Amino acid sequence: MESFNTEDFISEIKAQPAIWNSATEEYSNKICKRNAWEEVILKFHPLFNEKTTGEKNNISKLMKFTVVFQTFMAGIYQIAFWVLTPCSIVG
């Protein structure tokens, strides 16, 4: 993965509710979730299916870690914004 477009990645994740939407049946289905991840990975790694099993596992772990890390960082930014934004006291 030489270049990585975060916005495209987020769009692809949003297009796969099996990955993120716990209100769907697909979210609880391991096969649906794995297929959804493979579709996302294929968008960014077109030759994914030609990789060895070990390489596929490494790519999958990296992509999933990216989602977790970006979610964590978004939470950190929200907390920092909340902490650093002056509050006005209404009296």
pLDDT digits (tens, 9 = 90+) for 20-66: 888 999 989 989 988 888 888 888 888 877 888 888 777 777 777 77
Q: Which range marks the domain in which residue 18 is found?
A: 6-84
What is the per-residue pLDDT for 81?
63
Asked if residue 90 is part of any domain, the answer here is no
Q: Please report, as a single letter, which amino acid is at residue 54.
A: G
Does residue 4 sit in helix, strand or coil? coil
* Overall size of the chain counted in residues: 91
* Total domains in the fold of the chain: 1
Contacting residues for 52 by C-beta, under 8 A, at least 6 apart: none
**Residue 1 in this model has a pLDDT that exceeds 50:** no
What is the per-residue pLDDT for 91?
47
Asked if residue 15 is part of any domain, the answer here is yes
Do 45 and 2 contact (CB within 8 A), yes or no?
A: no
Mean pLDDT computed over 64-85? 67
Asked if residue 59 is part of any domain, the answer here is yes
What is the per-residue pLDDT for 9?
80
